[in-house]
Structure 1
Amino acid sequence: MEQPRFNELKVLYQTAFGLAIFTIIYNIAEGLISTYLGFEDESLALFGFGTDSFIEVISGLGIAHMVVRIRKNPDSSRDPFERTALKITGVAFYLLTAGLVVTSIFNIWTGHNPITTFWGVVISLISILVMWILVAWKRKVGNRLDSAPILADANCTMVCIYMSVILLISSGIYELFEIGYVDSIGTLGLAYFSFKEGRECFEKAHSDIHCSCD
């Protein structure tokens, strides 16, 4: 592959940073909307999905910082700011996992079901589309820069797509058939990925590995 010239490198790194900032802003908006609608509609899966979006904001700050770091020195290792952000993100994911599991079991035990999961369907479809575009764009930039950290971030963004698919399936099934416990079962699926993300955050915080999401 032909190596990018200086001006192209500048544009590519600006694009990578812009994608990181967009991801942060998008997750803030998604988190606010999802947690509000999840609370109003009593949909635990949608509320948990929104809470995960807020945690992704912390991760996104670390990614934005990483892009600035590798632009200055592509061969540099993860710095203290990134490691701290990873640890905070990891703790948040573990707390979210515990909360989702406990609340899901409680809802199943009491037979609680959401009022509607319509907005879970809508938000998950939008999220899948947006995240898929982000993954493709990040991979394009990462391949052009031959940057393992940026490619790893693209792979990790795929987890957001998986979680959106879980929300879509659970919300769609409940909205169509009103099958009990589907919302809670979907929430347990989100908890599984939340736990995996938390574990990976601590693995990355204590090493220089990029990502094992792929």
Structure 2
Amino acid sequence: MSDSTHERIEQIRKGRYIETASLVYNLIEVVVSLTAGFATGSSALISWGVDSIVESNSAAFMIWRLRGEEKGISRCNVLKRKKVTLSVLSAAFAIAALFILYEAMSKLIRGETASMSWWGVGILLVSLVVNPLLGWGKYHYGKKTGSPTLKYDAIDTMICEYQTVVVLIGLAFVQWQGWWWADPVAALLIVPYVAWEAFNAGREAWAVDPSNEQLE
């Protein structure tokens, strides 16, 4: 094995470690945000937690793909894994967008008010710090390994950062201004980004050709 090949495998391994850290943290987000969201009736927290489920799936499939590259599987098989990963993610994002839309619209129609959850606020504040670090790691090793998929996942992580800010603002308006509608509206603001991710992932999955020699 040449030095350059060994170096690339090492960088891929480090990228996989970053994705593993992302998976673990996203699972923590899911548990805390969904528990707090259902306990307080917060559409924004529930929607954020559902998106974290999709992000967890993204990290898990990225680990699967990168592990294959570490083992030296053929380019054709790597691209097959990429196609499967993107297809599953596209479907998961689409389902998440529909669920969030239904949850938020139901709360708006019924006029339900969310109560405060310090656990929910806590995990959101922690995510404001953790997500940029994970995003930087994914982009860094995506650049090092020439992997557009890792860099694309870094963008997804930063979109999650945007969503975190939106949910925090919505909860703040509910708590300190009494604007009950701010919570479901914050959830609705997440929908376009989740739907866009579904579209992009599906488009990329369609474009992947496992018979192509060019590894992406």
Worse-matched range after superposition: 6-15 or 134-143: 6-15
TM-score normalised over the length of structure 2: 0.83
Residue in 1 that maps onto 2:214: none
| Post-superposition offset of 1:30 | 1.0
Q: Distance in 2 between matches of 1:85 and 1:186?
A: 29
Q: Which amino acid aligns with 1:124?
A: L
- Greater mean alpha carbon deviation, residues 163-172 or residues 6-15: 6-15
> What are the Cα deviations for residues 22-66 of structure 1, in whole angstroms up to 9, with x where unaligned?
111111121011111100011111011111111222211221123
Q: Which residue of 1 aligns with 2:143?
A: 143
Q: Quick check: 1:114–1:183 contact (8 Å CA) kept in 2?
A: yes
- 2:81 is aligned to 81
Aligned position for 1:51? 50
2:42 paired with 1:35: no
- Contact between 1:120 and 1:167, CA under 8 Å: does it hold in 2? no
Q: What residue in structure 1 maps to residue 116 of structure 2?
A: 116
Residue equivalent to 2:208: 208
Q: CA deviation at 1:19?
A: 0.7
Q: Which moved more, 1:147-156 or 1:42-51?
A: 147-156
Q: State the partner residue of 1:65.
A: 64
Paired with 2:89 and 2:139, the residues of 1 have a C-alpha distance of: 23
Q: Would you say the 8 A contact 1:139–1:154 is kept in 2? A: yes
Superimposed CA distance per residue, residues 146-194 of structure 1 (whole angstroms, 9 cap, x where no aligned partner)? 4333223222221111111111211222222221200000010122221
Match of 1:103 in 2: 103
**Residues 78, 199 of structure 1: CA spacing in aligned structure 2 closer, same or farther, 3 A cutoff?**
farther
The DSSP-based 3-state class of the residue aligned with 2:22 is helix
Aligned counterparts of 2:86 and 2:147: Cα–Cα separation in 1: 20
Number of positions where the alignment pairs a residue of Structure 1 with one of Structure 2: 206
Structure 1 unmatched runs, 5+: 210-214
Whole-Å separation in 2 of the counterparts to 1:203 and 1:126: 33
User: Compared with structure 1, are the counterparts of its residues 176 and 77 closer, same or farther at alpha carbon in structure 2 (3 Å cutoff)?
Assistant: farther
Distance in 2 of aligned mates of 1:101 and 1:156? 19
Give the SS at the match of 2:13.
helix
For residues 61 and 74 of structure 2, the distance between their equivalents in structure 1, rounded to whole angstroms, comes to 16
Aligned residue number for residue 15 of structure 2 = 16
Give 5+ residue unaligned stretches, structure 2.
210-216
Superposition RMSD on alpha carbons, in Å? Answer: 2.4
Question: Is the contact between residue 44 and residue 183 of structure 1 (CA under 8 Å) also seen in structure 2?
Answer: yes
Report if the CA contact (8 A) 1:94-1:194 is conserved: yes
Higher relative contact order (CA 8 A, sep 6+): 2
Query: CA–CA distance in 2 between the matches of 1:145 and 1:89?
Result: 22
Q: CA deviation at 1:15?
A: 1.1
The match for 1:212 is none
1:76 positional shift: 6.0
Partner of 2:176: 176
CA–CA distance in structure 2, aligned partners of residues 157 and 195 of structure 1: 15
Instruction: State percent identity of aligned pairs.
Output: 21
Give the equivalent residue in structure 1 for 2:130. 130
- Kindly provide the amino acid, as one letter, of the partner of residue 179 in structure 2: I
Bigger mean CA offset, 141-150 vs 172-181? 141-150
